[in-house]
Structure 1
Amino acid sequence: MVYATRATLLFVEVMIAACLFAHGQPTRPHPWRRAAAITAAVFAAGMLTPCINVFLQIPDLSNYHPGALEYGLGYALVPMLITCSLFLLVTIPSLLACFEISPWAAIFCATAGYSLQNLASGLGETVGLLLTAAGVPGIVPGENAWLTAISCAATYVVAYLLFIGRIDSKGLEGQRNPAMLAMIVVVMFGIIGFDLILKYVVTVSLPLPIVLCLRLFHVLICVFVIIAEVELVVVRQLSSEKAATERLLAEQERQYQLSRENIEAINIKCHDLRHQIRSLAAGDKAVDKAVLENVAQEIDVYDSKVRTGNDALDTILSEKSLLCESRKITLTCVADGAALDFMAPADLYALFGNALDNAIEAVEHLDDAARRSISLIVRRRAGTVTIHVENYYDPTASAKSFKGDVPASTKGDPLNHGFGTRSMKAIVERYGGTLAFSANGTTFCVDAVIPERA
Structure 2
Amino acid sequence: MIFILFINILVFSLYEHIKQKNAQIAELKLQSQRDADSAEYYRTLSEQDEQQKILIHDIKKHLNAIADLNEHHETDKIAAYLTLVLGSPELQHSVRVCDNDLLNSLICRYQKICLMKKIAFHIDIRSKCIDFVSYDDLSILFGNLMDNAVESAEKMAVDPFIELSVFRRENTNMTIITLIDSCRVNPIDKDGNLVRTKKPNPQFHGFGVKSIANVVKRYDGEMTFYYDDPSKTFHMIMMLRNPDDYIYRH
Question: Aligning the two structures, in what range does the TM-score lie when normalised by the shorter sequence?
Answer: 0.5 to 0.7
1:159 aligns with 2:159: no
Give secondary structure in 1 for the equivalent of 2:220. coil
The one-letter code sitting in structure 2 at the alignment partner of 1:379 is F
Q: 1:164 to 1:326 in 2, by over 3 A?
A: closer
Identity rate, percent = 22
Query: Normalized against structure 1, the TM-score is what?
Result: 0.37
Conservation of the 8 A alpha-carbon contact between 1:405 and 1:437: no
List alignment gaps of at least 5 residues for structure 2: 68-77, 246-250
Computing the radius of gyration over CA atoms, which structure comes out larger, 1 or 2? Answer: 1
Query: Normalized against structure 2, the TM-score is what?
Result: 0.61
The one-letter code sitting in structure 1 at the alignment partner of 2:116 is S
List alignment gaps of at least 5 residues for structure 1: 1-150, 172-236
Aligned match of 1:280 in 61, 75, 82? 61
Structure 2 distance, partners of 1:385, 1:155, is 55
1:300 aligns with 2:91: yes
Conservation of the 8 A alpha-carbon contact between 2:196 and 2:206: yes
Post-superposition Cα deviations, 1:161-209, rounded to whole Å, max 9, x if no partner, equal: 23244236999xxxxxxxxxxxxxxxxxxxxxxxxxxxxxxxxxxxxxx
The one-letter code sitting in structure 1 at the alignment partner of 2:124 is V
Structure 1 counterpart of 2:71: none
Aligned match of 1:447 in 210, 234, 237? 237
Structure 2 distance, partners of 1:437, 1:156, is 53
Conservation of the 8 A alpha-carbon contact between 1:406 and 1:437: no
The one-letter code sitting in structure 2 at the alignment partner of 1:277 is D
Aligned match of 1:428 in 216, 237, 241? 216
Q: 1:297 to 1:443 in 2, by over 3 A?
A: closer
Conservation of the 8 A alpha-carbon contact between 2:188 and 2:194: no
Structure 2 counterpart of 1:331: 121
Q: 1:340 to 1:411 in 2, by over 3 A?
A: closer
Structure 1 counterpart of 2:161: 373
Give secondary structure in 1 for the equivalent of 2:123. strand
Structure 1 counterpart of 2:74: none
Equivalent residue runs for 1:127-276 within 5 Å: 151=1, 154=2, 156-167=4-15
Structure 1 counterpart of 2:75: none
Q: 1:292 to 1:416 in 2, by over 3 A?
A: same
Post-superposition Cα deviations, 1:35-62, rounded to whole Å, max 9, x if no partner, equal: xxxxxxxxxxxxxxxxxxxxxxxxxxxx
Structure 1 counterpart of 2:203: 415
Q: CA deviation at 1:420?
A: 2.8
Q: 1:286 to 1:306 in 2, by over 3 A?
A: closer
Structure 2 distance, partners of 1:297, 1:412, is 33
Post-superposition Cα deviations, 1:395-436, rounded to whole Å, max 9, x if no partner, equal: 1xx725499955423347421444333332333333333444
Q: 1:449 to 1:292 in 2, by over 3 A?
A: closer
Structure 2 counterpart of 1:54: none
Q: CA deviation at 1:352?
A: 1.5
Structure 2 distance, partners of 1:330, 1:351, is 21
Post-superposition Cα deviations, 1:76-103, rounded to whole Å, max 9, x if no partner, equal: xxxxxxxxxxxxxxxxxxxxxxxxxxxx
The one-letter code sitting in structure 2 at the alignment partner of 1:408 is R
Conservation of the 8 A alpha-carbon contact between 2:167 and 2:177: yes
Structure 1 counterpart of 2:133: 343
Give secondary structure in 2 for the equivalent of 1:338. coil
1:354 aligns with 2:144: yes
Give secondary structure in 1 for the equivalent of 2:156. coil
Give secondary structure in 2 for the equivalent of 1:425. helix
The one-letter code sitting in structure 2 at the alignment partner of 1:431 is Y
Conservation of the 8 A alpha-carbon contact between 2:166 and 2:175: yes
Q: CA deviation at 1:296?
A: 5.3
Q: CA deviation at 1:325?
A: 3.2
The one-letter code sitting in structure 1 at the alignment partner of 2:103 is L
- Could you say which structure has the higher strand fraction? 2
Structure 2 counterpart of 1:393: 183
Give secondary structure in 2 for the equivalent of 1:450. strand
Structure of greater relative contact order (alpha carbons < 8 Å, 6+ residues apart): 2
